[in-house]
Chains A and B, each alone.
Chain A
């Protein structure tokens, strides 16, 4: 099982070499890929994010946990440009101000996002799903005349192997099982060759075996990509966690290893109530 990851991360290393992943113009000289500073977002008086500050290092795998309504999804919305912060700054690398970019531009700059509910193109085939998300020139005119070359076909084939959907390449994506859809979405994300992956509850609805494989995949990806994983499944967190941030009422409550965080009195209060 893990052989395929090695093959992917090793054999296809040429394809996924950091230089290529880095995206054009990403300046990560200080080792920080994402830097949120003092971000606040409110919806009609409700403060979803309250002076949130967060820094993600290159190659880091960060887990974010927190009770419902803590602002996890809003944080991802801010990073991907879906929601504009009321105050504070969000930088991708040293130079890219995320507040200035549209969703598409942010995606293009190298941030990939997996939604809580798997969002794939249900009426396209699995192959087409991967094809559309592949890193290429994504302007209108190019798309009209685009033809897949051999290298691109190979890349799709590799990805199909990796996400174990090689046998379902021409199947309509909507017909896949929930776990398969999650994997397809992760595959689509990887096709974008992002520098930073935001994964919102990636193992929800997966079987134990699928969860285990996902954990392996994430561990294999870390180092080459930076990952931010939001999850409720503490077993899964325990499996992959290196550094964990606890989000509560829109700001970071605690940060550290899983054991540290779990021992933190405030965190226990938040989770168990007083």
Chain B
């Protein structure tokens, strides 16, 4: 019955593994060496600016993978993924704030914003926040819990499609308003910044940056492999089936709520981890990360790259954010035009994104040749 098994069962073929190997080499050997070992001024030197930028984009790529899992493979468009990203970031940020110690502007034990607000003791949210393991636990648990509870009720009530998207947008909007308040205890408008150390290492040194970069790279590769495992498993096929014909899946005897809840929560956790990696690299987290605009941008990364393909998500995150870095420096007033047009062009003309462009064009040509 061998030839009947038409489903993919291997993670990657030889070519795939080789490509991954090359990527790993670039991430873990070439960039660290290029930044640390090769002196500045040499054309092979990779500046810290680039290390941070690529590190940042890799965080976005992880988010894009999470978005692709839920949107590309399960058809659920979340407009609130920025919230999970920010929650992971805030969980990490709390720890980083505690690591500042007495080096803040007020030279006090408490973070500057608390001193400014004249708080005498830490609010309950900050319990145990000076422990790294606790921060790591929060990074995973907070997005997971929120996603699980929200998803449980939403999926159980059969909220789907645009409805779900709008509700997630409202969720992140509400959270943003909440975090803007000083009383919430997370620094209000300004959020957290001016970090000094992580695990005792000075956060701005090249070595720490490269280490964070490599960890982010490892997280990205790990997420990619995990996502790949999921999408080629039977579970992945069920998710895709839910996307295409949910009621048929239900009448096949699958409890689709559980499936959606699983992938939704997993996606949120991945976002949280990406946020936790993002904050020490860019050195700031504020409620702006929760704005609806940020969340919807994640969708466009995936759409640009090609949703429903994992490589597409990564490519899209890289392409859009690369363009963003370029434009915000070279011609900031044009960036919104570019981004806006990108939304329009991709949805109208490139339904399969950059990755699918080749196939799309080839089909067109062959059709033209046939005609």
Contact = CB atoms under 8 A, between A and B. Distances in A.
A120 B245 contact: yes
B233 A145 contact: yes
A143 B1 contact: no
Given A128-B6, A128-B237, A139-B258, A122 B245 contact: yes
Interface string B222-265: 00000000100111011011001101111111111011001000
A198 to B, nearest CB: 9
Contacts of A154: 1
A192 B253 contact: yes
Interface in A122-170: 122-125, 127-128, 131-133, 135, 138-140, 143-148, 150, 153-154, 156-157, 160, 169-170
Contact of B233 (A119, A139, A146, A169): A146
Contacts of A120: 245, 248
Interface in B2-57: 4-7, 9
B253 A132 contact: no
Interface stretch (A28-36, A104-112, A243-251): A104-112
Contacts of B241: 121, 124, 132
A80 interface: yes
Contacts of B4: 127, 153, 156-157, 160, 169
Contacts of A119: 245, 247-248
Contacts of B259: 140, 143
A120 B245 CA distance: 7
Contacts of B251: 80, 103, 107, 112-113
B226 to A, nearest CB: 11
The contact size tier of chain A is 35 or more
A100 interface: no
A264 B322 CA distance: 76
B7 A104 contact: no
A170 B1 CA distance: 13
A127 B237 CA distance: 12
Given A132-B241, A140-B259, A188 B252 contact: yes
A132 B243 CA distance: 14
A102 interface: yes
B237 A157 contact: no
A80 B253 CA distance: 11
B11 to A, nearest CB: 14
B244 A138 contact: no
Interface in A63-116: 80, 82, 102-105, 107-108, 112-113, 115
A131 B1 CA distance: 14
Contacts of A156: 4
Given A104-B250, A123-B244, A140-B235, A150 B255 contact: no
Contacts of A127: 4-7
Nearest to A119: B248
Contacts of B233: 143-146
A125 B262 CA distance: 24
A133 B127 CA distance: 48
Interface in A225-252: none
Nearest to B252: A133
Nearest to A80: B251
Contacts of B252: 107, 132-133, 138, 188, 192
Contacts of A140: 235, 258-259, 262
A143 B4 CA distance: 20
A122 B75 CA distance: 14
Contacts of B247: 82, 103, 115, 119
Contact of B234 (A108, A144, A188): A144
A2 to B, nearest CB: 24
A245 B120 CA distance: 78
B83 to A, nearest CB: 24
B203 to A, nearest CB: 37
A104 B256 CA distance: 8
B248 to A, nearest CB: 4
Contacts of A80: 251
B240 A123 contact: yes
Nearest to B233: A144
Given A143-B235, A144-B234, A145-B233, A125 B6 contact: yes
Contacts of B240: 121, 123-124
Contacts of A122: 244-245
B255 A138 contact: yes
B7 A131 contact: yes
Contacts of A148: 5
A122 B9 CA distance: 20
Contacts of A146: 233-235
A138 B6 contact: no
B255 A143 contact: no
A132 B256 CA distance: 13
A147 B238 CA distance: 14
Most A C-beta atoms less than 10 A away, residue of B7, B234, B240, B258: B234
Contacts of B5: 127, 148, 153
Nearest to A125: B6
7 contacts: A103-B251, A104-B250, A113-B251, A138-B252, A144-B230, A157-B4, A169-B6
Interface of B: 1, 4-7, 9, 230, 233-235, 237-238, 240-241, 244-245, 247-256, 258-259, 262
By Cβ-Cβ distance, the 5 closest A-B pairs, closest first, are: A170-B6, A107-B253, A143-B235, A103-B250, A153-B1
